A and B are shown apart, each in its own frame.
Chain A
């Protein structure tokens, strides 16, 4: 007979880890299912890159911030780093993803760091924008990454993209916010200025 509500061992390990990171009181509140949104509500911060995250070290947070700014840079709208996507990714990985997925992202950040060192002899944060783009493009082109490493990077990238396009900037500025469409029209023309609708309220 199967017990439908069985809790697996991975979760217990995760809880133990959380209690190290956050203190046992916070972990207990997670365990009992109360106070989660209060204890863990994510709000964008300006200084995430200068502090260790829940998952990433301070140095990794800085690199992650620069990865965010490189993938989705400032254009007519703010960059992913400007809206603290690195803080979001760190938070979201702990809240909504498995340890395996957390490790994938840590490995991806390490890969970027190592590739910057071997290509330019400096840390990712110190090389110029063109060089940063080249480091990331080389991973995607698999000239400096295995297939598996590229997939790991892609997963991290998808989280950054998700974080950006579900941020207030991403929804209301980068895309076309339509909270009350007023009804459905099956056909509207597309012009050079047409932006994608960006107002799904759940994912």
Chain B
């Protein structure tokens, strides 16, 4: 371990404290340190070093005690929530939080899945790596249909920052020329499989308003010299990303932003540091630092900085904001609006459809593509809304030939059955919904008035539910997906909706609990992710979102972070901070 990089007790006055080390924390640290500022990155979890701390990487299924499934009792006692995540298994569980140590409660009649990644790198190690720009249709949706507050920014405000982060991250994808899904600055796309190319054609013929593209993903399909210099290599299409990737073939803090920040010599990291609250100077109306509880010893320490960037993830940043209070500001020092913790959103992934696709028996593919096909939201403006709900959904999907799993219960005993399972099975095509969730005041996360966790932090209480809008959207998506699969040529189509048993949080796209806005009366942050109430406090993770849109949010909060840093540096120069 690098003694100079990792610190514990310190009296140093840093230029910037960055709370969190995931996607946004990594970006904030990189941008500030590269501009010459001394940064302390504060992480509540343990150190995870690139390459060294990926203990399950490349280990085959037969080497795990339960063939990569997690012991039932362990799941129930320590991972009852985390196990709801598709990526949770015996090969990845060390990158998920322990639910026994991280309790929270939910309002009667509601449920919430809070998936945690409390380690250096956060959820950048385990994310799904889908990366899409938001369009002006997304930034203006709240204003046009009246749900939620108007975003204080537009596409043109973020465009150059999108391009900047994309070049650094490395995004594989096509230039599709769609106004509802602005093009990214991309590396070459992953191939579509042959039946997907045909499906794209049939979709264009039957549903011209619903273009199908290859999913854009933060993978080095063909690394540039720039990425090679970062020590990153071409994606091998192993699709075991959530174990960590020593090749650095997908973007994570460890593979990308952290080495850049470390290289400057301006970064220090305080691991095992649970931020309890912000230290606030009432007289100057500035945050001076953070109060920290040691994750292991439970002792208390403080870190001081001229600026604080909260990048701890939506729910965790919100917890810190709500827990930072004074007698004069009992609901939170940056919460004069009273909206902190409200308008919690996720995406609604609760409809899917799948069918068998006859033919193409002489077609196969090689490698495990780390992305799928994507149909961007085609109800992106009020004129395109359905009658019984507002907003829309995107579709993820894929064509695959089945392996043994899909055929294990087929009839058959003996050598013929066994041999059949060793051959590629029939093609199937599936869609799943990525629906927008409306921002609603009633969907709230708040501090428990009585219960604390082992670090003395007030526990969180969730009161979030799918509204009739999301439910109607999912019902419609199942019907439309069936129509599309039929047009593609599928048979034996099965559809399902799951909003009854898959609560908010399940898409792991928590958003909106410290939203941006023009008016300090109804928003926490201004157009630069700066707290309206406190000039040297910024929040740049998903909590700053005014609407969820349908696209995966990570790329946008990367761009927001870079923009916020640039603004903050200018404000420091002008001595306004």
A interface, CB within 8 angstroms of B: 1-5, 7-8, 11, 14-15, 30-31, 33, 36-37, 40-42, 70-73, 75, 88, 91-92, 95-98, 133, 136-137, 140-141, 154-155, 157-158, 161-163, 165-168, 171, 174-175, 177-190, 194-203
A33 & B78 in contact (Cβ 8 Å cutoff): yes
- Docked pose: A37 CA to B69 CA in angstroms: 12
* A–B Cβ pairs within 8 angstroms, 27 of them: A1-B107, A2-B105, A2-B108, A36-B71, A71-B413, A92-B67, A96-B71, A97-B72, A140-B411, A162-B404, A165-B421, A171-B60, A171-B61, A179-B60, A180-B236, A184-B191, A184-B237, A184-B367, A185-B365, A186-B192, A190-B364, A195-B422, A196-B422, A199-B60, A200-B368, A202-B61, A202-B89
Minimal beta-carbon separation of A144 from chain B (angstroms) = 13
Q: Is B99 an interface residue (CB 8 A)?
A: yes
Q: Is B81 an interface residue (CB 8 A)?
A: yes
A2 & B368 in contact (Cβ 8 Å cutoff): no
Chain A residue contacts of B58, Cβ below 8 A: 179, 201
Question: Of residues 415 to 449 in B, which have CB atoms within 8 Å of A's CB atoms?
Answer: 415, 417-419, 421-425
Chain A residue contacts of B238, Cβ below 8 A: 179-181, 201
A195 & B364 in contact (Cβ 8 Å cutoff): no
Q: Is B235 an interface residue (CB 8 A)?
A: yes
- Docked pose: A189 CA to B365 CA in angstroms: 8
B417 & A71 in contact (Cβ 8 Å cutoff): yes
B105 & A181 in contact (Cβ 8 Å cutoff): no
A96 & B413 in contact (Cβ 8 Å cutoff): no
Q: Is B68 an interface residue (CB 8 A)?
A: yes
Chain B residue contacts of A180, Cβ below 8 A: 236, 238
Per-residue CB contact flags for chain B residues 223-253 toward chain A (1 = under 8 Å, else 0) read 0000000000011111110010000000000
Minimal beta-carbon separation of A201 from chain B (angstroms) = 5
Chain A residue contacts of B100, Cβ below 8 A: 5, 33
A186 & B404 in contact (Cβ 8 Å cutoff): no
Chain B residue contacts of A171, Cβ below 8 A: 60-62
Chain B residue contacts of A202, Cβ below 8 A: 61, 68, 89-92, 240
B103 & A4 in contact (Cβ 8 Å cutoff): yes
Q: Is B369 an interface residue (CB 8 A)?
A: yes
- Closest B residue to A129 by beta carbon equals B414
Q: Is B361 an interface residue (CB 8 A)?
A: yes
Chain B residue contacts of A71, Cβ below 8 A: 413-414, 417-418
Chain B residue contacts of A158, Cβ below 8 A: 408-409
Lowest 10 A-B CB distances belong to which pairs? A186-B191, A181-B367, A184-B367, A161-B408, A184-B237, A158-B408, A166-B67, A185-B366, A202-B68, A165-B404
Kindly list 17 other residue pairs between chains A and B, CB separation below 8 angstroms, not including A1-B107, A2-B107, A175-B422.
Answer: A75-B418, A88-B67, A95-B69, A133-B413, A157-B408, A162-B405, A168-B60, A179-B60, A182-B236, A184-B367, A184-B370, A187-B193, A190-B361, A197-B368, A201-B240, A202-B68, A203-B68
Q: Is B74 an interface residue (CB 8 A)?
A: yes
Chain A residue contacts of B59, Cβ below 8 A: 201
Q: Is B403 an interface residue (CB 8 A)?
A: yes
Chain B residue contacts of A203, Cβ below 8 A: 61, 67-69, 89, 405
B413 & A190 in contact (Cβ 8 Å cutoff): no
- Closest B residue to A71 by beta carbon equals B413
- Docked pose: A133 CA to B100 CA in angstroms: 48
Minimal beta-carbon separation of A116 from chain B (angstroms) = 14
Q: Is B483 an interface residue (CB 8 A)?
A: no
- Docked pose: A183 CA to B221 CA in angstroms: 8
Q: Is B66 an interface residue (CB 8 A)?
A: yes
Chain A residue contacts of B65, Cβ below 8 A: 36-37, 40-42, 95
B73 & A1 in contact (Cβ 8 Å cutoff): no
- Docked pose: A188 CA to B237 CA in angstroms: 15
**Which of B78, B103, B193, B405 contacts A186 (CB under 8 A)?**
B193
- Docked pose: A171 CA to B62 CA in angstroms: 8
- Docked pose: A184 CA to B236 CA in angstroms: 7
- Docked pose: A155 CA to B370 CA in angstroms: 30
Minimal beta-carbon separation of B112 from chain A (angstroms) = 8
A185 & B411 in contact (Cβ 8 Å cutoff): no
- Docked pose: A7 CA to B78 CA in angstroms: 10
Minimal beta-carbon separation of B465 from chain A (angstroms) = 13
Chain A residue contacts of B71, Cβ below 8 A: 30, 36, 40, 95-96
- Docked pose: A168 CA to B405 CA in angstroms: 16
Chain B residue contacts of A72, Cβ below 8 A: 417-418
Chain A residue contacts of B193, Cβ below 8 A: 186-187
**Known A-B contacts A33-B77, A158-B408, A203-B405; A195 and B105 likewise in contact (beta carbons under 8 Å):** no
Q: Is B363 an interface residue (CB 8 A)?
A: yes
**Known A-B contacts A187-B191, A196-B421, A203-B61; A1 and B105 likewise in contact (beta carbons under 8 Å):** yes
Q: Is B128 an interface residue (CB 8 A)?
A: no
Chain A residue contacts of B201, Cβ below 8 A: none
- Docked pose: A197 CA to B61 CA in angstroms: 14
- Docked pose: A122 CA to B364 CA in angstroms: 46
- Docked pose: A168 CA to B240 CA in angstroms: 18
**Which of B68, B194, B404, B418 contacts A196 (CB under 8 A)?**
B404
Q: Is B525 an interface residue (CB 8 A)?
A: no
Q: Is B127 an interface residue (CB 8 A)?
A: no
